[in-house]
Amino acid sequence: MTENRAILIGILFVNIPVLTFLVGPLFILLHFNPEPGNLGFIALAGGVVIAWLWWSVTIPKWRLWSYKRVSDINKLKEKAINAGLTWPHGSFFARTEIKSSAHAAKEAEYEKNA
C-alpha cells in the first residue's frame, strides 16, 4: 500500500470522526435549543473531550495497521504529520496517545526495522 493511501484511510477513520465528535454535540444542542447559553460551552467542551479520546485511542491503532502495510515507515510518519493526522514524535500531544505497552513495543519494533 502506498503511504498516501494509508494517510487517506487514517483521515477517514480518525480525523473525520474527530471533527464529527468535536462539533456534533454543539450542533445537536443548537438544533433543540437555539439559545443554549452555558450549555453551549459545555457541549463544545464535551465534544473536545470525546474527540480527543477518539484520536488518542484510534491513532495508535491506525499507525500499527499502516506500519504493517507500507514499505517506507519514515515517509509515512512525515506525511502523517504534514497531513495533520499525527503529531511529531515526543510532542506533548503525541504523548496523549492511549496504547498498551505491548502495542508500543510493536510500533517500536517496526520503527527500528524501518
Q: Give the helix, strand, coil percentages of the chain, each rounded to 5.
A: 75, 0, 25
User: Model confidence over 56-97: pLDDT tens digits?
Assistant: 999 999 999 999 999 999 999 999 999 999 999 889 989 999
pLDDT in tens, 11-47: 999 999 999 999 998 888 888 877 877 888 888 899 9
Q: What's the CA gap between 16 and 94, in Å, rounded?
A: 19
pLDDT at 9 over 90: yes
Domain count, the chain: 1
SS3 20: helix
pLDDT of the residue at 26 = 83
Residue 8: band (very low, low, confident or very high) from pLDDT cuts 50, 70, 90: very high
Q: What is the pLDDT of residue 39?
A: 82
DSSP code of 11? Answer: I
Structural domain of 65: 3-112
